[in-house]
Structure formats: C-alpha cells, structure tokens
Structure 1
C-alpha cells in the first residue's frame, strides 16, 4: 500500500477511533495500528459496532417530531410522576432519547423517541432543578426508519396507550407503506391480524371515542365488541346516538354515568341489544382449511420467535412456546398477554 493511501485510510479511521495519546510510532507498530483501524472500519460497516453519539442538551433546543406516536399535549405531572421521581433519585436521566439533528433557528434536534423524558426534564428544569439536562442519542434516520424505531421502543411500554399507537399506525399505513397492510406488517415483523386490530381501533368514529371518560383506556381487546355493532347502518346510528348522549351528559356534569371503559362499552352495546332482533342472513359456506395453514408465529421486537399459534377450535387455542428460542421471559409474557386480549377479552 502506498504512503498516500495509508495516510488517507488513517485520516478516515481517526474519525471513528480516537488516537491514543503518547503512543509511539515505530516501524513495526504502524502496521498494528493500521490493522486495528481496518478492523474498526469493518465492524462499523457490518453493523457489529454502532457509533451513535450521545449528548446532554437543553430540552428547549429540541422539538417533537410531528409524526411522533405520543400525544405530547396529554402528558402531565401525574402521567410522568414515576419518571420524574427516577430522575431525581438517580440525579440524571438514565436512558437517552433518540433524536435527529436539524438546523433551525430555534431547534437543534428533532425527538423521535423520548417525548415523555423531554416533558419530565423540562418540568424539572422549570421547578427548581435547572441543572438537569436532556440526554439524547443522535442518529441519522429516514422517516420510515424513525417510525419503526419509535414503535419498537414504545411497544413494550405500558404508559403509551393502545389508542396512541393505533393512530400512529393508521397514519404510517399511507405515509410509508402505500396503504398496504401486508407490507406494514412485514416491516414491523408482526402478523397482519395484529396490525389490523390496531387499525380498527384507530378507525373508531370520533363520537364513540369521545364517549369514554378516558379515551386512553381503550384497548385493542375492546375492538372485538365494538366493531361488529358498527357494521350495519341501524346499529351504527344507535351506537353513535348513545355515544353522543354520554359525551354531552358527562360534559354537563351528570352523575351515574359509566366510570370506565368496560362500563362504557356495555352501555353502547345495550342500545343495540334492546333493539328488535333481526333475522340474520346465512353465511356462505367456507372451504375447509388445510392442517397447519392457519399457524402464526409471534416474534419479539428483535425478530426472535417466541411462540406459535397452531390453531383454534370451539374448545380453545393450541400454541407452542419456544422457551429455548433465545427470547426473554418478559417478551414471551407480553406476547401471551396480547393473545389473551385477542382471544379472551376482559
């Protein structure tokens, strides 16, 4: 290798590997250093090493990505209490937010993941803790990559509601996947049925959502009850009328109204159940399924197979648990909870 090429490679590698101070440069040592830099570049190129810088910044210089999946305006001291207490106990924010660098007069970063951390740090700085700074990890991401990273980070978090995630999925369907539910499910490494339930939740009429005392209590497990009664025009009109009545009564401060999501659902279903029964049209006969054709493998966010739904009949669901497949117990428990919500709604 010519001395000119060596110099170029050394300059390129120095941007990813800090040079050791006081290091001697002997004729034999130079080959080792160059080999180390070559290895470092190869690791970065292969993805074995991730070089994402972290910084402590002023949260006022960060703005929320307009397609962020959390309702920032709905955050409050109560919803962020656990995180605020954790930052106070540790003296700092432990987990960095994921941001993109931007160049605007008022902002330096765009927040992809970490809106709740941003709200908490901002609140602390405004309430006698100006020393607390916002820890961020800077990445170079496309919008579609930003959506998937945000979804993966928040999927296992209980503080992000199903409704917020569902609305985010509905927006992403057209923005990144051309309206293809199949392509979206493939990119998220989830089943189409799983994605479909979230999309159904996001498509609930606004009047129905507003009927709930706390819309963020709505879950994908509730879709199995609500979706069927919104199909026919007659049932839909009854449900919408009752939803508007509940909303107006709650706004007027009336008492004796449903206090939570299950009670609200029962009230909405009651207006359909009280209507005169209609004769159901016979369903067309379905072709029998081949054995194993309805098996679905559920994966972890990292792509590890957790369990397989082998089939279902009148008595129940049969599944195989891949307890030695490399996934964690927490991931398996989350997958089982999703299955219970789907097949055995509360």
Structure 2
C-alpha cells in the first residue's frame, strides 16, 4: 500500500476531503532528497484533511506517550540541523499534529512532531521566545494516532530500531489484544519483521549499555544476539562481556576517542558467548602443613597469587613463594 493510502486510512478522511490533481506531464527533475520526500508527504496529508493550521507554544501541548520516540533522548546536538532550519524559517515548515485533550493538563496533546516540538521549545528557551509551533488539529483515537505516528516514523532516519520495537510491543497490548498479526496487518508490516523489532525488547539493559548509543543497536544485530541471550548457559558470558565493553565505551568518551561501533560490539559479545573460557589450574601454597594462600594459573590471566592472613615472618612467606614462582617460569618456558 502506498504512503498516501496509509495516511488516508490512518486519518479516516472522507472522500470529499481528498483533492485530485489534474493529470499533467511532469518535466524531468533531480532525485528527491529525504527532506523533500517528507515535505511532500506532509503537504499531501495537509491537503487531504483540509485542516487549517494553528500556532501554539510547546508548553501548551503535552507529549502523547504512544509515540515511539523517546523525548528524553533528544538533544541540541542531535537536532542541530532542525533547530537551525526552524530558526531560519521562524517556525516549523511542516506542521505537527495535535489533538484536543479537554480533560488533560494541557489543551492539546502532540501526536506526531516530537522533534519539532523539542526544537521549538529549545529555541524559546534560547533567545527566540517568539517562535511558535505550527500545528494541525486532528480528532484521533489512540489506535489511529499510533498508525499515523508510525507512518511518520518510517520516514525518519534518526529513530532507533529499539524505540520502534518498544513502541510496537506496547501497541500490540494496548490496541490489538496482544496479537502481533493484527498490528502487522494494520500498519502493513510483515509479521516476521514485526517480530524482529519486538525481539529487540528482550535484550537486557546490561547488553544495551555496551552500545555507544541505542541508535547503534539494529534489528540485524538482534538476529545474532538473541539466540545466545536466550541460552541460559551463555547469557551470563554475554552480560559480563557487555559490562566490560560499556566500561571501555565510557573510557573512550572521556578521552574523545572514537566509540566502538555497533557491528564490533555484536561481534565481541557473540565471541564471548561462543568461546570457551580458559582452563585454569589452582593449587595451595603450604608452609609446614599450613595453607597460607593459593596460586591460580590460566592462559588468559597468567599467574594469580592469593595470600591469607598469617603470623609468618615475611622471609618465610617469600621462601614459600619462591618455588611457586620458579614453577611458573618453567610452566611458561615449556609453553604448557
């Protein structure tokens, strides 16, 4: 189904509201950019519903929680180009969609246009208080609002697969009685692809933290991670590796170094799950029949000494350690 048909169905516009353009032979044009396609799509939607636009302040509308985008993850850096565009145009050129909420804390609720809402709010707080949010008012129930928001999200390049998966999972329970196939049919998405998106929500927060950004975690990564995570014998290895990678990511950020990319993170996590841990040899350190500690040798960490509290003199302890150290040298020299 075409994008025009999806918007038409989501908004449930009457046939009389749709304008039919006269047939014409269009001259050859340059390839359309992502922004041009979005602009044309929303201009088309505005023509179909024939709603006048209004201007309001971001504070006048709350954010509908049913949208996939995580408002808390938006930032000036992430929205810099959009902020600059809205500043230059003195407003958002593509209207957001709101609906009235008579019983809500705010008069309106934002259905689609979260990024534009955030950008205008940022400009209002940073020397541009007169810029307002251009909006179209629609009468939508939650299920129709979800489908309309999903149409826009498919056009977005900066919404993560994890955000979409979480949104789909919540929508299945809220609007489709827990039946994924019903949602897939309504939003014209294959059942297998929907299952892959929702599968990302099974990845634990510990593993997600290994990625530099949730944007780096993609559906194709879930295909590789989920089989090992669903194996109880391997899950702990993946989570331990994820904690180490997360610490490395943090260290790189503090030093302005390049982060570890998503593909490399996945490769390291899968390797940690499928590589057998190095076998170790452990023995006690004895002095006159008394255990004063242990020595552990493995191929990954080398030699690890653990000493227990004792009343022995330092020279006696060192004397007990000498043969241990010598054996370790022989062990290394023989390549065993």
Q: TM-score range by the shorter chain?
A: 0.5 to 0.7
* 1:179 counterpart SS class: coil
Per-residue CA distance 1:200-239 (angstroms, 9 max, x = gap): 1122122111121212211112122212222321122211
- Asked if 1:265 is matched to 2:266, the reply is yes
- How far residue 151 of structure 1 moved from its aligned partner, in angstroms, is 0.6
Alignment match, 1:52: 51
Correspondence for 2:145: 146
Alpha-carbon distance change, 111 to 93 in structure 1, aligned in 2, over 3 angstroms: same
* 1:214 is the counterpart of 2:213: yes
Deviation at 1:150, TM superposition (A): 0.4
Which residue number corresponds to residue 85 of structure 2?
86
Structure 1 residue 251: Cα displacement: 5.1
Hey, what does 1:198 align to over in structure 2? 197
Check the 8 A contact 2:120/2:132 in 1, yes or no.
yes
Supply the distance in 1 between the matched residues of 2:173 and 2:103 (Cα, whole angstroms).
28
Q: CA contact under 8 A between 1:214 and 1:260: conserved in structure 2?
A: no
Q: C-alpha distance in 2, partners of 1:68/1:190?
A: 17
Distance 1:84 1:182 in 2: 38
Q: How far did 1:51 drift?
A: 3.6
- Helix, strand or coil for the counterpart of 1:56? strand
Q: Which residue of 2 aligns with 1:18?
A: none
Change (3 A) 1:117 1:275: same
The Cα RMSD (Å) is: 2.3
Paired residues of 1:258 and 1:264 also in contact (CA < 8 A): no
Deviations 1:136-190 (A, max 9, x none): 1100111111111001011121021111111111111111111111111101111
Displacement of 1:105 after TM fit? 7.3
Aligned to 1:155: 154
Offset, 1:123 = 0.9
Q: Matched residue of 2:55: which SS? A: strand
User: Deviations 1:306-339 (Å, cap 9, x if unpaired)?
Assistant: xxxxxxxxxxxxxxxxxxxxxxxxxxxxxxxxxx
- Runs (4 or more) in structure 1 with deviation over 4 Å come to 43-47, 248-258
Unaligned stretches of 5+ in structure 2?
A: 1-12, 19-47, 278-336
Q: Distance in 2 between matches of 1:46 and 1:202?
A: 42
> Corresponding residue for 2:114?
115
- Find the aligned partners of 1:229 and 1:165 in 2 and give their Cα distance: 22
Per mean C-alpha deviation after superposition, the further-off stretch among 225-234 and 253-262 is 253-262
The alpha-carbon distance between structure 1 residues 269 and 105, as it changes in their structure 2 partners (threshold 3 A), is closer
Aligned to 1:275: 276
Partner in structure 1 of residue 310 of structure 2: none
What's 1:244 paired with?
Answer: 243
SS at match of 1:141: coil
- Given that 2:249 and 2:260 are in contact with CA atoms closer than 8 Å, whether structure 1 keeps it comes out as no
1:103 maps to 2:113: no
Deviation at 1:106, TM superposition (A): 4.6
Structure 1 match to 2:10: none
| Equivalent pairs, count | 234
Query: 1:288: which partner in 2?
Result: none
- 1:169 aligned counterpart, secondary structure: helix
Partner of 1:286: none
Q: Counterparts of 1:262 and 1:130 in 2: how far apart (Å)?
A: 42
Show CA shifts across 1:79-126 (max 9, x none): 111111111222321001111111257511101101110111111111
Q: More deviation in 206-215 or 117-126? A: 206-215
Local SS of the residue matching 1:262: helix
Q: Give 1:329-340 correspondences, 5 Å limit.
A: none
Counterpart contact for 2:101–2:109, Cα < 8 Å:
yes
